[in-house]
Amino acid sequence: MTPEKALNFLKEGNERFQNNLKANRNLLEQVNDTSEGQFPFATILSCIDSRVSAELVFDQGLGDIFSIRIAGNFVNEDILGSMEFGCKLAGTKLIVVLGHTSCGAIKGACDHARLGNLTALINKIEPAVEAVKEPADESLRNSKNLEFVDKVSEKNVLLTIDNVREKSPVLAEMEKTGEIKIIGAMYDLSNGEVVFYE
């Protein structure tokens, strides 16, 4: 397995998903096959949105991917530790930061929402809002402007990748030596397509 092959597996899986052609797999057989160990090929950080299950949108089975989910698909120390485990110890070859269109967490950041513990989560996404400069008109920089929301979602993916490289010397070194690839992607809720940022 190489990072390029891992990426191709995900691309092929998303093609199957879009065409409603699931790979023929026996999940109970996979339970038995993975009962004494796992050998996933990718680690995917995605949002908790119920419509964006990485296993489904990439048509993968049990034991194929590590799936890390948090609203707004950003990284913190615990998520970075999980990624380091996935790549350095379990051998995954690819990290995908997967954002999606019309993201509720991104909308909350665009509106600077404040609510209990959600406030701290929103604060971690707000740098992406500030990094998107257009539109300059403040009345258009909110969750009602879905084009703006999606631009912020894309910027959030790219900033998250920067944070992975900056805050995890382990993963940065693995990427530098070609052991892994770190890539961003966006899932379109309207048609099921994943666009990779290559």
Taking a C-beta distance cutoff of 8 angstroms, is the pair 109, 85 a contact? Answer: no
Q: Is 47 labelled as part of a ligand binding site?
A: yes
Residue 162's φ and ψ, nearest 5 degrees, are -60, -40
Q: Is 110 labelled as part of a ligand binding site?
A: no
Residue 96 bridge partners (DSSP): 44, 183
Question: Which residues, at least 6 apart from 119, have a Cβ–Cβ distance to it below 8 Å?
Answer: 113
The tokens for 84 are 């380091």
Q: Please give the Cα distance from 153 to 140 (Å, whole number).
A: 16
Q: Please give the Cα distance from 4 to 13 (Å, whole number).
A: 14
Nearest to 77 by CA among 167, 165, 150: 167
Nearest to 6 by CA among 176, 162, 170, 183: 183
Q: Is 49 labelled as part of a ligand binding site?
A: yes
CA 61 to chain CA mean position, Å: 17
Sheet holding 181-187, edge to edge: 65-69, 42-46, 94-100, 181-187, 194-197
Question: Residues annotated in the binding site, as ranges?
Answer: 47, 49, 100, 103
Question: Residues annotated in the binding site for Zn(2+), as ranges?
Answer: 47, 49, 100, 103
